[in-house]
Structure 1
Amino acid sequence: MTNLGSFISGHAQEYPDKTALITSQRRLTYSEYDERTNRLANGLHTLGVHKGDKVATVLEGCAEYAELFFACAKMGAVMVPMVTRRLDDEIDALVSMSESSILVVASDHSERVAQMRARGLLRDLRYLIHIGPAGPSERGRAEEGILDYEQILAEAPADQPPTTAGGTDPVILLSTGGTTGLPKLAIHTHESLLWNVFNFHWNVGFRHDDVCLTNLPQYHSGGMNCFTVVNGVLGLTGIIVHHFDPAEFLRTLEEERVTYLLLMPPVLYDWLVKAGADKYDLTALRVFFTAGGNFFNRDKVRANLPHSEIFYLYGQSETVGATTILRGPSIFSRGDSVGRVQPVMDWRLVDALGEDVEAGVPGELVLRGPNLFSGYYGNAAETDNAWRDGWFHSGDMLSADVDGFMYFEGRTKDVIKTGGENVYAVRVEAALTAHPAIKEVAVIGRPDPKWGEQVCACVVLEDGHSVTAEELVRSCRAALAGFEIPRAYFVVDSLPTNPVGKILKQQIRDAIEEGELRPLGAQGASS
């Protein structure tokens, strides 16, 4: 029964002086990493945290994030990272939903949390642990359960904490990235996260001397599971970014001789190019991993990083990180494919009746395998709805070619029905982003008395560009059937997103229906 924390201890014995973590503030060897996670695990135990208890966090990227995860793993507790961009009431609800008894917060959010508590939120916490100085209103209140992170470590023994946790025991609750309502908390175990490490290692082939960097926050499944956990289990060197600054990011890539870069979404690469990526020595970078939306700038990445192998992934919190991976030449020869399903998972594409669809026909992706989540914490109804007949129903529509390469078609709720035909929003979005004036786009359906629904597009323009509806219609005709071409186009400065970056299409629909957005001056194509 493997415990994820045991990997840190094993690496500390094998190569104690190897650098494990790098931040702008400090560097930790594996020996120090192991000692600090042992002390933290023992300190949490002293506070009454036992196997299965929940420890929530409100943190940006920091070394303590990684320490907390592996300390919780070592002693059997369950980490519950909060997406810091969420509203206060949402964080309060998720902390309560998870039954967390401890919240760990760093100085950049300490006063926010203090104000939340002053309003009566987070009332069920037993302890609030501060990394760095506490907010002005909560300093010097240890008697009220407000504790200092470093003091807990200093007062706790460095011995290996005893635990019986591992295997199928929960180790983290991940917020799903839903676009409506409060997110669910997907339960992942030591085993499911370990299988994700195997998946990544199978595809990437990590090396002992790899130095890994990402811009993803650690509350994100990618930042935590595809970076922090992968690095710790495989004994790699990880660089943790607190705040994304393109110029500083590039300096770090060069100075630390970074070999593995996980950068999402693809648009962020353009920021590095604008910051002068061509002026830095990036030849050490052998792996460039990206995800999130249409990989529109793949040719630019290849031109700027000729020595790097390029990977693209599609995934969900429920599958830990990567559901499919596309790599190397396939990125350029397979069009808009998101790759093949990871080999550890069985998969099917099914219609509304649960029957398998043929190659090229969109269907809902259903999965099973040891890396999948075991359920939604405290939500049996949603768990039963997601897991049916032994398969996880992803809610994502994909199609597959005869070679097993997948093509994302949209969410099951993101299919527009017009005149008896199904229009997949992601297909229309891909056609529109091919236009040089379009930076981002969201395609939605709105009620239509004749056709049932009308296809509409909400677009963000590239700086300095303008466009007409007629131009967009002409551009779409080369790639789409007549019924797929949007009938109305709306230009906005930015698309509304949730805290993990997913587009809130319902907000766009509401803004259109309420007259807040006005269409460009032409109708789309005829059916």
Structure 2
Amino acid sequence: MTATLDAHEEIGTFGYLALWDAIAEVVGDRECLVQNGHRQTWAQTRERTVALGWWLTAHTQGRRPGEHHPWESPNDLVGVYVRNRPEFLEAILGSYRARCAPFNVNYRYKAAELAYLLIDAAPAVLVYQQEFAPVLREALAELPAAPLLVCVGDDSGERPVAGSVDYEQVIAGASAPPVERVPSGDDVHVLYTGGTTGMPKGVIWRQKDAIPGPCGIRVRSIAQAVEGAPRREWLRVLPAPPLMHGTALWYAFNAWSSGGTVVLGDNPVHFDAAEMVRTLRRERVSSLAIVGDVFARPLLDAVAATTEPPGHLRFVFSSGAVLSERSWAGFTEHFPKAQVINALGSSETGPQANQTRGDDGGFTAGPSTCLLDEETGVLRDASLPGRGLLANGGFLPRGYLGDPDRTRATFRTIDGRYLAVSGDRAEIGADGRVRFLGRDSTVINTGGEKVYAEEVESVLLALPGVGDALVLGRPSERWGSEVVALVVTALTDDELKTAVADKLAGYKVPKAFLRVERVRRFDNGKPDYGWARARAQEGDDKS
């Protein structure tokens, strides 16, 4: 298949496939997807996803005619319920080819959670991994109507759900439709939020907005991307977090925009730091995406323990969780020439601010980032110190799938600017630096004062001897809510209190430090707050 494109099409107008198919024309023999011995070229990836797109074209409507509200998807939805495997990314591309909107399914969900998600999204098709058949079978019993099911085989031994078609048979047997669909930059991708502090929400991104927005793709035109791709054979990117979350998926997309290779970890079930270091070395990975300390600390420990550290790493990108001073120091020690970037953003806004090595005391705001003062309604940019809700302009989503009220509350026009106002709170200092305070959902109101949990966590995580920490509030007769910290440490309460008090006001010092063997987190590095609240009531681990 030959790409027929306007070579001067500008960014903000084209979709993913227009870009990637043009690149595939000039780097077709280069590796596109690699995992544990599986090597697939750009040409092979295009061939397989074209076939999947043909099958989806035969079984979906694709793009629905007419006008659509911002909280409606103009494209049929296709769920992707697969671990970090090449099939996850292939299913995304196949959906785009059929003008369908792919969405991520969290493979950690139990049946009731999965049923909620599938009812909310109402997909036409669900591509699922064989391993998850038992949970899916139970969830489908709660649905008014089941989607078409495509099963990605594995060695789990689980029995596929009745009525499923085999993924590889779909690709092998697909035939071209009488009229192929022509994808558009106006087609959408739905990114479901993690739902760690509430029910998951589907954020509707038009492709042409996601490309320069959360993906950070900076090519000015398809012609520019095609011209530069042959020189980028060195670009080999490993997204360590689950692809079902935006950090990893957008990072993979960014690499493809330059003609790079996406390398997936050998073990898609668990993050194994030592194995990851071996993969980084073996595959000559030049760019790595992680989620804060949850990935950085074990990874740096594994690098320190090996006699053969990976030597090709040029870039490290972190987002979605705290990256402590200790981790910054570790990257400086082991990868002194690598550029390390810590990004601040959300599913609803895309990147809003960045922190690089040497930035002390906060983030540098992006060009469209500002703060909304809730009391005065004033928008503050980096030149106007103060506190407020983070807001972002520029390239933004359409809205939340099926939720007009939340769409109107989050995406608003203020002072003539169309903005996404997230639940993230931040402070702009006199130096123009942005300091992240926390999400509304993690603010602790104690004795009339607001404590931002992430601020206290950052202090604890910087302490030698603290393996992990999570701060939250629990009910208190005296304070209404009191600050408590779950910590993995052998330090005493007095040592912890003194360290926090040296950095923060007294009311921010946790009233209790509860020792746990580990802080339970989801695969994307975000805390399991349901577990944490229960643990805060129970006290220390008894083991």
TM-score by length of 2: 0.83
Are 2:319 and 2:344, in contact at CA under 8 Å, matched by a contact in 1? yes
Aligned to 2:53: 41
What is the CA RMSD across the aligned residues, in angstroms?
2.9
CA drift at 1:432? 2.4
- Alignment of 1:412 with 2:431, yes or no, is no
Q: 1:448–1:122: structure 2 CA closer, same or farther, 3 Å change rule?
A: closer
Q: Distance in 2 between matches of 1:480 and 1:216?
A: 32
Q: 1:131 matched to which residue of 2? A: 152
- Residues 354, 504 of structure 1: alpha-carbon distance in 2 compared, 3 angstrom cutoff: farther
1:230 pairs with 2:240: no
8 Å Cα contact 1:35-1:158 kept in structure 2: no
Superposed CA offset, 1:401-439 (max 9, x none): 345321111122433334443332222222222332322
**What is the CA deviation profile of residues 335-377 of structure 1, one whole-angstrom value per residue up to 9, with x for unaligned ones?**
3x2x22333x34234234433468553211122221x221110
- Percentage of matched positions with identical amino acids: 26
Match of 2:36 among 13, 17, 24: 24
Deviates more, 1:382-391 or 1:253-262: 382-391
Q: CA deviation at 1:4?
A: 1.1
Structure 1 residue 493, shift from structure 2 partner: 2.4
**Structure 1 letter corresponding to 2:53:** A
Alpha-carbon offset, residue 187 of structure 1: 0.8
Matched, 1:253 2:280: yes
Are the aligned partners of 2:58 and 2:177 in contact in 1 as well (CA < 8 Å)? no
Taking a change above 3 Å as real, the CA distance of residues 137 and 398 of structure 1, as seen in their structure-2 partners, is: closer
Answer yes or no: is the 8 Å Cα contact 1:197–1:230 preserved in 2: no
Q: Give the CA deviation at 1:160.
A: 11
Paired AA for residue 283 in structure 2 = E
Q: What residue in structure 1 maps to residue 388 of structure 2?
A: 363
Q: How does 1:16-415 map to 2 (within 5 A)?
A: 16-51=28-63, 52-117=75-140, 120-122=141-143, 124-132=145-153, 138=159, 145-157=163-175, 162-170=180-188, 172-196=189-213, 199=216, 201=218, 208-209=232-233, 210-227=235-252, 229-241=253-265, 242-243=268-269, 244-277=271-304, 278-296=306-324, 297-320=327-350, 322-330=351-359, 334-335=360-361, 337=362, 339-343=363-367, 345-356=368-379, 359-370=384-395, 372-389=396-413, 390-415=418-443
Q: Secondary structure at the match of 1:478?
A: helix
Aligned to 1:195, what secondary structure does the other structure show?
coil
Amino acid in structure 1 at the alignment position of 2:153: G
- Relative to structure 1, the CA distance from residue 115 to residue 133 in structure 2 (aligned partners, 3 Å threshold; closer, same or farther) is farther
| C-alpha deviation, 1:195, in angstroms | 1.1
Measured at CA, do residues 161 and 308 of structure 1 come closer, stay the same or move farther in structure 2, by a change above 3 Å? Answer: farther
CA distance in 2, matches of 1:419, 1:216: 38
Deviations 1:240-281 (Å, cap 9, x if unpaired)?
Answer: 222433333222211221111112232423323443554224
SS of residue in 2 equivalent to 1:100: coil
Matches within 5 A, 1:420-439: 420-439=448-467
CA contact (8 A) 1:3 1:73 kept: no
Is 1:477 the counterpart of 2:501? The answer is yes
Q: Is 1:199–1:342's contact at 8 Å kept on the other side of the alignment?
A: no
Q: Could you tell me how far apart the structure 2 residues matched to 1:519 and 1:48 are?
A: 51
| Counterpart residue identity of residue 172, structure 2 | A
SS at match of 1:323: strand
Asked if 1:486 corresponds to 2:510, the answer is yes
CA displacement 1:2-55 (0-9 Å, x = unmatched): 121122321221222111111125211111111111111011112234221111
The structural deviation recorded for 1:122 is 4.9
Residue 85 and residue 129 in structure 1: after superposition, are their counterparts in 2 closer, same or farther (change >3 A)?
A: same
